[in-house]
Amino acid sequence: MAETKLNRRLRLGMVGGGPGAFIGAVHRVAARLDDRYELVAASLSSDATKSAEAARDLFVARSYTTYAAMAQAEAAREDGIDVVAIVTPNHLHYPIAKAFLEAGIHVICDKPMTINVAEAEELVTLVQKTGLIFGLTHTYTGYPMIRQIREMVLGGELGAIRMIQSEYAQDWLATPLEQTGAKQADWRTDPARSGPGGCLGDIGTHAFHLACFTTGLTCEQLAADVTTFVPGRRVDDNIQVMLRLSNGAKAGLWASQIAVGEENDLSLRIYGEKGGLTWRQEDPNHIVFTPLKEQPRIITRGGPGISAASTHATRLPSGHPEGYFEAFAQLYTDIADQITARILQQQPPAVACLVPGVEDGLTGMRFVDAVLRSAKNNSAWTSL
């Protein structure tokens, strides 16, 4: 992969991701995989003792009791962090991002970006005002074959797009797991911390973003059915959405966390006038591409004829599987290229600019808002 490099690693800070957290560890692995970052500062927990202990365990040089103190102190240091990763529950994304942007520090934020449209709009304004880099970790856009699909669709290999089917099915919340004290289930089913969308915000936004990212299309209207199947649960655990897209294409989206037997089955099917293709996250190194009236073709990551965008996101020869960590790391590496180019007063490589940003975060929150409004209005067609 061609890279723009400094004579040092980027200095990374992290807020959240302490004891019991899942995604914080994923971010840390992703940041280190291509050796572009060093984690030097953190506020890993709202519990000061746990935060300090976790920082010691991770060999983090500077531990802070609050994110506000961290933003202020790091901004004042000559060797302060270049960028902060926000890996907290959703309701904290906005105030933390705001604090670091106002301190002049680039941001990498887990999705969904905020818990409502108003917060998302404020972050868009703040990023525009500061000119800082804001990366949103819609992980699956880092997969080489997702970038290959984007190149094929935008290059016209499928012709005009007619139909998209995007699905994300899990079963981990098929029972009231949140009532057992499970930390991840507890906050994800608490609307005060997750936001008003449960399954919708957690994985529905991934399925929606993937459909738009790979095709370049936008959603104009949608009609949604939102369900909470598990008794006593305070947020949705299953959504079904019809979408009307910008070129007249249609899409169907299903996201569920009560689909018994499904582990993490994110799948995408795109159909155009000249062909169709299929991709599944559980087999991420292959695409099935079927040109009209021809036999299906298997396109392999790293194989012949792969696009520059896909090659940029590829680390290993074909036949050596790459997966979730590598896709996540690709977002971190692309953001590193962007920040490094900014420091060196250069332009980043075009292939490093496919990372979702603050505008994608706003679109995601408008999607969540429109789905909930539609569902409350008997699944009426609703504009974003």
CA neighbor of 165 nearest in space, from 252, 63, 231: 252
The model's pLDDT over 326-358, given as tens digits with 9 standing for 90+, comes to 999 999 999 999 999 999 999 999 999 999 999
For residue 273, the model assigns a pLDDT of 98
Q: Are 342 and 195 in contact (CB under 8 A)?
A: no
| AA letter at 39 | L
Q: What is the pLDDT of residue 4?
A: 53
Give 2's pLDDT tier (boundaries 50, 70, 90). very low
Q: What is the band of 364 on the pLDDT scale with cuts at 50, 70, 90?
A: very high
Residue ranges of alpha helices (H) inside 44-143 are: 48-57, 67-76, 93-102, 117-130
Residues forming beta bridges with residue 12, ordered by sequence position: 39, 83
Above 70 in pLDDT, residue 117?
yes
- Going by pLDDT thresholds of 50, 70 and 90, the confidence category of residue 180 is very high
Predicted pLDDT at 267: 98
Q: What is the pLDDT of residue 371?
A: 98
Per-residue pLDDT of 150-161, as tens digits, reads 999 999 999 999
Is residue 5 pLDDT above 80, yes or no?
no
Query: What b-and-e string marks burial along 142-160, b requiring 16 or more CB atoms within 10 Å of the CB?
Result: bbbbbbbbbebbeeeebee
Inter-residue contact 147 to 309 (CB < 8 Å): yes
pLDDT, mean of residues 270-287: 98
pTM above 0.75, yes or no: yes
CA distance 266 to 259: 12
d(CA 157, CA 149): 10
Q: What percent of the chain has pLDDT over 90?
A: 95
Distance (Å, whole) CA 96 – CA 186: 21
Percent of the chain with pLDDT over 70: 99
DSSP string, 139-173: GGGGSHHHHHHHHHHHTTTT-SEEEEEEEEE--TT
**CATH number of 143-309+362-383, picked from 3.40.1550.10, 3.30.360.10, 2.120.10.30, 2.40.50.40:** 3.30.360.10
Asked whether the predicted pLDDT for residue 1 surpasses 70, the reply is no
Q: pLDDT, tens digit, for every residue of 279-324?
A: 999 999 999 999 999 999 999 999 999 999 999 999 999 999 999 9
In the predicted model, is pLDDT for residue 3 greater than 60? no
Beta pairing partners, 298: 288
| Lowest pLDDT segment from 49-58, 79-88, 364-373 | 49-58
Band of residue 18 on the pLDDT scale cut at 50, 70, 90: confident
Comparing CA positions, the residue from 112, 139, 89 lying closest to residue 363 is: 112
* pLDDT score recorded for residue 46: 86
Question: What CATH number was assigned to the domain covering residues 10-140+331-356?
Answer: 3.40.50.720
- Pairwise CA distance, residues 242 & 253, whole Å: 6
CA distances to 10, 13, 21, 120 from 79, in Å = 10, 12, 28, 30
Spans of all domains in the chain: 10-140+331-356, 143-309+362-383
- How far is it, in rounded angstroms, from Cα 142 to Cα 274? 26
Mean pLDDT of all residues belonging to the chain: 96
**CA distances from residue 168 to 62, 152, 380 in whole angstroms, order as listed:** 38, 22, 23
